[in-house]
């Protein structure tokens, strides 16, 4: 029994689904923290706010970005093949590009917050980025779950294991 099976009680789950669900279970608390973080911008002392922002930024840059890269590199080409070009993975790739752009913008606000230099305009911009990240990630991760069902129904157990290892390996340190 895998770690995920023990935690979720889903013994019939494929290694690919188990790995993906485990990653998403670790990601979602951080995603759900984003609107809370946006709401706290003017509510906490700057140093305390910067510390909370830093925690989420470390997760985003250290774990979420590698997860995004791993999913794109490991699954998207295979999904396009399975769907025989009827449904391109380009929208998902485009969302990854938008997430990377938003992460870059977040990084700039992160520097201002850490320096204690978050003026009113920057606070509004940071709030907007956090809300956009939250919205995009919630929808994107839900859609990713749907695509995993396609893979689970369409490939052999051996290939599911290979894909699961690819996601875990490409993510660097597991999420």
Tokens of 79: 């999904």
The CATH architecture assigned to 20-77+88-170 reads Up-down Bundle (1.20)
Tokens of 32: 């759900």
CA atoms within 13 A on the CB side of 78: 23
Per residue of the chain (175 residues), give pLDDT as tens: 333 333 333 556 777 777 777 888 889 999 999 999 999 999 999 999 999 999 999 999 999 998 899 888 888 888 888 887 777 889 999 999 999 999 999 999 999 999 999 999 999 999 999 999 999 999 999 998 888 888 888 888 888 788 888 777 555 554 4
C-alpha to C-alpha distance for 17 and 38, rounded to whole angstroms:
32
Name the residue among 20, 6, 127 with its Cα closest to residue 74.
20
Question: CB-based contacts of 34: which residues, under 8 Å, 6+ apart?
Answer: 56, 130, 131, 133, 134, 137
How buried is residue 162: exposed, middle or buried, by Cβ count under 10 Å (0-12/13-18/19+)? middle
Tokens of 150: 């396609």
pTM for the structure as a whole:
0.84
pLDDT attached to residue 107: 96
pLDDT attached to residue 18: 76
Tokens of 154: 């369409």
* Domain extent listing, the chain: 20-77+88-170
């Amino acid at each position: 029994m895998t770690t995920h099976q023990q935690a979720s009680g889903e013994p019939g789950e494929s290694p690919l689904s188990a790995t993906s669900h485990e990653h998403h279970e670790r990601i979602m608390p951080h995603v759900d923290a984003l609107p809370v973080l946006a709401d706290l911008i003017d509510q906490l002392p700057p140093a305390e706010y910067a510390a909370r922002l830093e925690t989420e930024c470390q997760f985003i840059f250290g774990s979420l970005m590698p997860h995004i890269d791993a999913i794109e590199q490991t699954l998207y080409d295979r999904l396009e093949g399975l769907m025989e070009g009827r449904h391109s993975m380009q929208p998902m790739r485009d969302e990854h590009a938008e997430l990377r752009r938003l992460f870059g913008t977040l990084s700039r606000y992160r520097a201002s917050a850490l320096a204690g230099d978050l003026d009113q305009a920057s606070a509004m911009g940071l709030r907007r980025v956090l809300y956009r990240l939250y919205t995009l990630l919630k929808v994107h991760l839900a859609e990713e779950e749907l695509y995993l069902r396609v893979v689970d129904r369409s490939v052999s157990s051996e290939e599911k294991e290979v894909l699961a290892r690819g996601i875990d390996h490409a993510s660097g340190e597991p999420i």
